[in-house]
Amino acid sequence: MTMWTKKNIGDQTGKTAIVTGANTGIGFETALALYEAGAHVVLACRNERNAQDAAARIQAQGGKGGLETAVLNLANLHAIGALAETFIQKHEKLDILINNAGVMTPPASKTDDGVELQFGVNFLGHYALTGHLYPLLNATPGARIVTVSSMAYLHGAIDFANLRSEQSYDAFREYAQSKLANVLFAVELQRRIEAAGDQVISVAAQPGANNTDLSRFMNEADYNAAVARIGQLMDPWQGALPSLYAAVADEVQGGEFYSPDEPGGYRGYPAKLAIEPHGMDRNVAARLWEWAENESGIRYAF
């Protein structure tokens, strides 16, 4: 695949998209590109002030889409339900849902519902949001769900006995676990969509190594060591391309994973990447789904 950029995005006029964590980093660039292409973009952000600020910055760049802000705290299952309900009352369709928001290596902490924060925000919150919105997505021809993971998923394992940090907390281990859960979720969702005969597409993407606020909890020494290991970081417009490709390119099929194309997945332009066996594990995915169903009380309307 050669150098697919946002210039390759076709006209998105008439489409409605939600981008979670759209106030900064990869989410901001994803929302900006969809807006420039004509979509009506809902900036789902943790607080209204940041959402409004992002909307103003997007508008200032010019574009032909529409913009709307919504407050979304993925660390609170009740708030996620409230946001989804408001959205459903206001909108008749949802073409693109980008599950982008994420938190990396914070000090040990939990969601309002008692789940380890990274697992709760990065995975469970998006499981719940997608479940609430699934009927609307399923009623929208050609709808797509893009869930943003990371190459950190390679190091992840799901420890079902420790999802509330009952035993111990290791910041990077928990991040990798949550990013593996993103991959398992995207693929399992596609399996369930197909089993139901529905037409929605669920895809995973990962942005590579980008200079964003994601490193906000890293100390300088760890950050410098990571950059020395990974090499040059990309600007977030480039990291947004795999999410954008997954959301709009004609070739995309459910269950696929898009990543920057250079070896290691840290840099480059979007390309399909094979998912490693632990990301495709049907038993772990089914167990994870059941856990999320019980934890959130949300059963998808397949």
Ligand X SMILES: NC(=O)c1ccc[n+]([C@@H]2O[C@H](COP(=O)([O-])OP(=O)(O)OC[C@H]3O[C@@H](n4cnc5c(N)ncnc54)[C@H](OP(=O)(O)O)[C@@H]3O)[C@@H](O)[C@H]2O)c1
Q: CB of residue 2 vs ligand X: minimum separation in angstroms?
A: 23
Beta carbons within 10 angstroms of residue 153's beta carbon: 24
- Which residue, 141 or 263, has its beta carbon nearer to ligand X? 263
Question: Up-side HSE of residue 67: CA atoms within 13 Å toward CB?
Answer: 26
Write the CA distances from 125 to 116, 148, 285, integer angstroms.
12, 13, 16
Cα–Cα distance, 37 to 249 (Å, whole number): 13
Which among 240, 172, 251, 156 is positioned nearest to 205, based on CA atoms?
240
Cα–Cα distance, 174 to 116 (Å, whole number): 8
Write the CA distances from 291 to 75, 93, 129, 282, integer angstroms.
17, 29, 16, 14
The footprint of ligand X (CB under 6 A) covers 21, 23-27, 45-46, 50, 72-75, 100-104, 121-122, 148, 150, 206-207, 209-210, 212-214
- Which residue, 16 or 105, has its beta carbon nearer to ligand X? 105
Q: Which two tokens stand for residue 221?
A: 């020494």
Q: CB of residue 131 vs ligand X: minimum separation in angstroms?
A: 16
Q: Which two tokens stand for residue 82?
A: 């409230």
Clarify whether 269 is annotated catalytic: no
Q: CB of residue 178 vs ligand X: minimum separation in angstroms?
A: 8
- Which residue, 50 or 202, has its beta carbon nearer to ligand X? 50
> Closest residue to ligand X, Cβ-based?
25
Q: CB of residue 80 vs ligand X: minimum separation in angstroms?
A: 9
Catalytic: which of 35, 127, 175, 258? 175
- Which residue, 27 or 38, has its beta carbon nearer to ligand X? 27
Q: Which residues are catalytic?
A: 175
